[in-house]
A and B are shown apart, each in its own frame.
Chain A
Amino acid sequence: SQQGEEDPQALSIQEGENATMNCSYKTSINNLQWYRQNSGRGLVHLILIRSNEREKHSGRLRVTLDTSKKSSSLLITASRAADTASYFCATDGKNNDMRFGAGTRLTVKP
């Protein structure tokens, strides 16, 4: 079963706006990662946040983690058309594996 679940499933915004995606998970984690997937391509790592961290920044990306609520959010500021992609959260499973959610499909209109 999936560990992480992203919300919303799809998001459409105008260029320049901020995009916020959420991820909820079920069991305790060591770390949570966000990945991006362009259409027809493999996933690319964006950012990792450890369970003892609450917020992390990388360029236009801001990730928060609330372990008490078992949730994380990914904020993309000042979005660009090139940010159009699917975004996935991933959490470490109990058997040395990484579990992914179903993803949020982000469309940024120019």
Chain B
Amino acid sequence: NAGVTQTPKFQVLKTGQSMTLQCAQDMNHEYMSWYRQDPGMGLRLIHYSVGAGITDQGEVPNGYNVSRSTTEDFPLRLLSAAPSQTSVYFCASSYSPTGKSIGNTIYFGEGSWLTVV
């Protein structure tokens, strides 16, 4: 029962470095998303995808890129890491876009702790 798998769990980057956070789900979910969680801020949506080949921006997309070449994978790329991107990142998936459905449970990965120094 893998569910949503994120890697790496922990990462330290230097300012200006780039990296990719990997996310994979094995539930054949159409909808996948990336959130960041900062103290006192709750979860903020970075990017989301409603299906393979389709991505869109969330609340805080600047500094991040995504792609969705397959249903299973939704990697998040940090182009040039900045200290402001120090955060906990969560990948999530659900069966379909919640706004158009009767409401679907969102499944979350365990999180990736990123520190940019």
A interface, CB within 8 angstroms of B = 1-2, 30-31, 33, 35, 40-45, 48, 50, 88, 90, 92-103
- Whether B99 sits at the interface, judged by CB under 8 Å, is yes
Q: Are B59 and A1 in contact (CB under 8 A)?
A: yes
| In the A-B complex, the 7 residue pairs with the closest CB atoms | A96-B97, A42-B108, A31-B103, A102-B42, A100-B43, A45-B105, A92-B99
Q: Are A50 and B111 in contact (CB under 8 A)?
A: no
A88 and B102 alpha carbons, distance in the complex (Å): 20
Nearest A-chain residue to B108, judged by Cβ: A42
A60 and B86 alpha carbons, distance in the complex (Å): 36
B interface, CB within 8 angstroms of A = 4, 31, 33, 35, 40-45, 48, 50, 56, 58-59, 90, 92, 94, 97-100, 102-103, 105-111
A contact residues around B107 at 8 Å (CB): 45
A contact residues around B98 at 8 Å (CB): 30-31, 92, 96-98
Q: Are B108 and A96 in contact (CB under 8 A)?
A: no
- Which of A31, A41, A90, A96 is in CB contact (< 8 Å) with B50? A96
19 extra interface residue pairs, beta carbon distance < 8 Å, beyond A88-B43, A94-B99, A97-B99: A1-B59, A2-B44, A33-B105, A42-B90, A43-B90, A50-B102, A88-B42, A92-B98, A92-B99, A93-B45, A95-B56, A96-B99, A96-B100, A97-B48, A98-B106, A99-B45, A100-B44, A102-B41, A102-B42
